[in-house]
Structure 1
Amino acid sequence: MTAVAATPTVPYLRIVRASALYDLVVTAAFATPWTLALLHTALDALSGALGLRGFPELDLMQVFYANLMGSVVLVWSALRLLRPQAIHGLMDGIARVLFSVWMAYALAHGGPEILWVFLAFEAAWGVVQLGLYPRARRA
């Protein structure tokens, strides 16, 4: 076993990569207007089937901001997959805290209740990456 493999950094980098893969899967559909429309329809239908509040109709600026967010997250995810570093886990953890706060804000103001699922994953990834970062940094 090499000295690098024995450090806490290696498992942490696996977590950084796993969170990036999760983001790719969850966020890819936000990156284009066409895939966003399909995702919007699917999530609205799922919400309705579960008896939850649905989604408002999309307008041009919502699509623009969703596409912007989706594009940035795809690039950020690719970086974490191809060149994972402990600092990327820290920054991603901070971003997830911010995303979680804004999801909670949306929920508190009548946003689609299916956001609770996404909020749970965002908060979990944030807690894991922020909680384990100090140990990985010391390594």
Structure 2
Amino acid sequence: MNRPLAPEHPAYLRVVRASAWYDLAVTAGFATPWTYTLVHHTLSSVGDALGWGALPAPDTWQTLYANLMGSVVTVWAALRIVRPLPLHGLLDAVARLLFSSWMAYALAHGGPRILWPFLTVEVAWGIAQLTPWRRTGPVAGPAGPGDGNPVGTPVR
């Protein structure tokens, strides 16, 4: 019996895909040095205008790590858009837990308050993708299309 919130349910897979579209929209600008300069300037300006603090001036290392993060998250988002699977939702929820932890750490150590909206959205997507797994128990063995395991079931 399929429950509406089970990870193999199409509604859950739509959540996985929607979170990927969010990630693509938010992180694609971090993927190149040129677009990162624009994103950095915009975030810094918004943070400054709201009284939340401007971002530190970008340097080579900051730009490199922003580009690495932007590139990896953009590719990860593309995978979840093209082929969302229940396992992708579970792994994305774990990644969001990690991202949320590091954002909270940065905020606790004087990071700009412009992180708060991003932290809030990360936590919300993480909860949305992790909660259905609480009802199903642990992930079964290796997944693959046609093996009877819903973890490997793609969305059509």
Q: Name the TM-score, length of structure 2 as normaliser.
A: 0.81
Q: Flag structure 1 segments of 5+ consecutive residues without an equivalent.
A: none
What's the counterpart of residue 81 of structure 1? 81
* Superposition deviation, residue 133 in structure 1: 2.8
What does 1:25-44 align with in structure 2 at a 5 Å threshold? 25-44=25-44
Work out the CA distance in 1 between the residues paired with 2:123 and 2:132.
Answer: 14
Work out the CA distance in 2 between the residues paired with 1:19 and 1:121.
Answer: 10
Larger helix fraction of residues = 1
Q: CA RMSD in A?
A: 2.0
- The answer (yes or no) to whether the contact 1:12–1:133 under 8 Å persists in 2 is no
Work out the CA distance in 2 between the residues paired with 1:23 and 1:113.
Answer: 20
Percent of aligned positions that are identical: 57
What does 1:85-100 align with in structure 2 at a 5 Å threshold? 85-100=85-100
What's the counterpart of residue 62 of structure 1? 62
Work out the CA distance in 2 between the residues paired with 1:98 and 1:7.
Answer: 24
Matching of residue 113 in structure 1 with residue 113 in structure 2:
yes
Residues 96, 7 of structure 1: alpha-carbon distance in 2 compared, 3 angstrom cutoff: closer
Work out the CA distance in 2 between the residues paired with 1:135 and 1:75.
Answer: 29
- The answer (yes or no) to whether the contact 1:17–1:84 under 8 Å persists in 2 is yes
Question: C-alpha deviations, 1:45-81, integer Å up to 9, x for none?
Answer: 1111111111001110110011000000011001101
Residues 135, 81 of structure 1: alpha-carbon distance in 2 compared, 3 angstrom cutoff: farther
Matching of residue 127 in structure 1 with residue 127 in structure 2:
yes
Residues 51, 7 of structure 1: alpha-carbon distance in 2 compared, 3 angstrom cutoff: closer
- The answer (yes or no) to whether the contact 2:17–2:80 under 8 Å persists in 1 is yes
Runs of 4+ in 1 over 6 A off after TM superposition: 136-139
What's the counterpart of residue 102 of structure 1? 102
Q: Flag structure 2 segments of 5+ consecutive residues without an equivalent.
A: 140-148, 151-156
Work out the CA distance in 2 between the residues paired with 1:103 and 1:132.
Answer: 24
SS at 2:53 equivalent: coil
Which residue identity is paired with 1:115?
Answer: L
